[in-house]
């Protein structure tokens, strides 16, 4: 079997004509016979380049409103015949089927049509039949045929054609691999559209991927599957690492619950907030967040829900941090932050975040709905004689949002819309509370009048420790068979407590 194969004929049928002209010109210059149909045929004819009509080859016009154009033995026989198979060659000679050495095709934009909110009828019409069949046929016969399944392959193909009209087996196999990637992704999107609220079947296809320097540790390989360019504009700095991406994800999801609030600033480390505050200005919010834990803030991820101004940038520039995220930056503020060469500066775009979470577990995969519940004062059920003040209610909402995004078991202490401390990832909430109290006191915070949020029900012992530390109001899910013991303690000690009815574990 000859490794090198010369392209003598091509079938071109594409929905998106962008970038096609350069390829058509190159094929014509190489003496390649071009077959086409419909809009692609018109496009090529307008370039004054000869083109053979598929209808003339098959003796059938495009029918059923364009649903059937290329589905014919004279087309697929020309693609699928094996050049070195004697029987195949006898049959294509008998039925006067011309060989087709190159197929350039794309698919109707099904995924884009779904995301546009189009009608069901319009979506169904964007399920490609002929295109997907051409892609699979040409890719299957990669020994003899080149398949270009989307315009993403145009540049690589043109580079080959500029040398000669010949391709190697390795070239053809690579294009075939790309083709099956395109077709499998397309089929997954169609299935998921039809399977909304249907069978519990997981079919995820992400066509974009980025190799990372390494994974969580240098000895681990890391890859990000997704489109970071759709999430951010990168204004400065090095490429994000595996751990950066995890921290950025935590920061984005946390700030999502505060995006409409007054200027709010967060500092995260290892997926947890070590500093967080809401104030009248971004600068004030940053300084209050930094005060929450100036030690852990070193090397952290910084995020703001408002544009970064010069005053904030000057203060932020004093801290070594890995990544800064904001919806925008004043020009002078950006120049200040750029003074650190490797600091990653991101503008967060306004795109919808996923509503599902997926992770590997054992020999399979776990999927769940993302925790999208964020309680407000209207969700609080007061269970004690003492009722939180308006200021305490604001702090309870603030703390409860934070506890939802902190690793369990966790307790969050807050005051004046400032994170004073949190106990994170402990094996008991008693330990988490003691850790939070110790940390807050080590940074000289006065816990008198502070509030406490718990990710799950709080036992009698927890509210007792909180009261002794100066806590005056508590928010928790409730749901323990011993809730009444906690309520009785609060009533006896003038401690306010509200229930939300929603647990917020995060593992």
Residues belonging to the active site: 140, 270
Contact 344, 324 (CB under 8 A): yes
Contact 3, 165 (CB under 8 A): no
Q: Which two structure tokens, joined as six digits, stand for 425?
A: 């990832």
- Distance (Å, whole) CA 327 – CA 305: 7
Q: Which two structure tokens, joined as six digits, stand for 434?
A: 């003691």
Q: Report in angstroms the alpha-carbon separations of 267 from 99, 360, 366.
A: 63, 28, 29
Q: Report in angstroms the alpha-carbon separations of 1 from 90, 143, 375.
A: 18, 9, 68
Please compute, for residue 83, the number of CA atoms within 13 A of its CA located in the half-sphere on the CB side.
Answer: 17
Q: Could you identify the residue written with the tokens 């402990």?
A: 426
- In which element (H, E) is residue 225 found? strand 223-225
- In which element (H, E) is residue 209 found? strand 209-211
Q: Which among 372, 329, 320, 362 has a CA at the least distance from the CA of 347?
A: 329
Q: What angle do CA 33, 38, 39 make, to 5 degrees?
A: 95
Q: What is the DSSP secondary-structure string of 448-476?
A: TT-EEEESS---HHHHHHHHHHT--EEEE
Q: What share of the chain is helix, strand, coil (3-state, %, to 5)?
A: 40, 20, 40
* Cis amide linkage into residue 409, ω under 30° from 0: yes
Sign, CA torsion 395/396/400/401: negative
Q: Are strands 451-454 and 356-361 parallel, antiparallel or unpaired?
A: unpaired
């Amino acid at each position: 079997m000859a490794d090198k194969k010369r392209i003598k004929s091509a079938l071109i049928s594409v929905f998106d004509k962008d970038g096609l002209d350069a390829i058509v010109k190159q094929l014509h210059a190489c003496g390649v016979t071009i077959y086409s149909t419909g809009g692609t045929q018109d496009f090529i004819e307008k370039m004054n380049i000869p083109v053979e009509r598929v209808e003339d080859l098959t003796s059938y016009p495009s029918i059923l409103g364009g649903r059937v154009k290329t589905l014919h033995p004279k087309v697929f026989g020309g693609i699928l015949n094996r050049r070195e198979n004697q029987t195949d060659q006898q049959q294509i000679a008998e039925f006067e089927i011309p060989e087709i050495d190159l197929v350039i095709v794309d698919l109707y934009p099904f995924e884009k049509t779904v995301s546009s909110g189009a009608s069901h009828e319009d979506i169904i019409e964007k399920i490609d039949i002929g295109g997907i069949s051409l892609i699979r046929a040409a890719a299957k016969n990669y020994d003899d045929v080149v398949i270009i399944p989307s315009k993403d392959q145009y540049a690589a193909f043109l580079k080959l054609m500029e040398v000669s009209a010949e391709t190697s087996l390795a070239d053809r196999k690579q294009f075939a691999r790309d083709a099956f990637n395109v077709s499998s992704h397309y089929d997954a999107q169609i299935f998921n559209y039809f399977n909304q609220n249907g069978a519990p079947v997981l079919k995820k296809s992400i066509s974009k991927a980025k190799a990372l320097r390494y994974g969580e540790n240098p000895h681990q390989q890391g890859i990000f599957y997704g489109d970071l360019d759709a999430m951010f504009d990168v204004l400065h700095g090095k490429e994000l690492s595996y751990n950066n991406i995890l921290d950025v994800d935590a920061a984005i999801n946390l700030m999502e619950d505060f995006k409409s609030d007054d200027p709010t600033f967060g500092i995260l480390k290892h997926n947890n907030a070590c500093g967080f505050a809401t104030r009248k200005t971004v600068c004030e919010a940053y300084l209050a967040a930094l005060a929450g834990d100036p030690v852990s803030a070193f090397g952290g991820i910084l995020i703001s829900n408002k544009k970064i101004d010069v005053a904030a940038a000057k203060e932020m520039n004093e801290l070594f941090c890995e990544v800064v995220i904001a919806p925008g930056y004043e020009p002078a503020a950006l120049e200040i932050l750029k003074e650190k060469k490797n600091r990653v500066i991101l503008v967060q775009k306004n795109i919808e975040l996923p509503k599902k979470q997926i992770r590997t577990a054992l020999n399979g995969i776990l999927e769940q709905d993302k925790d999208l519940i964020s309680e407000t004062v209207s969700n609080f059920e007061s269970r004690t004689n003492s009722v939180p003040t308006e200021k305490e209610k604001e702090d309870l909402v603030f703390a409860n949002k934070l506890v939802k995004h902190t690793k369990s078991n966790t307790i969050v202490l807050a005051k004046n819309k400032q994170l004073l401390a949190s106990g994170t990832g402990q094996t008991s909430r008693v330990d988490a509370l003691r850790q939070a109290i110790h940390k807050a006191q080590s940074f000289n915070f006065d816990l008198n009048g502070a509030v406490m949020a718990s990710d799950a029900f709080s036992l009698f012992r927890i509210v007792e420790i909180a009261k002794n530390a100066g806590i005056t109001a508590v928010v928790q899910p409730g749901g323990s068979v011993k809730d009444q013991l906690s309520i009785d303690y609060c009533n006896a000690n003038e401690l306010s407590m509200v229930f939300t009815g929603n647990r917020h574990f995060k593992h």
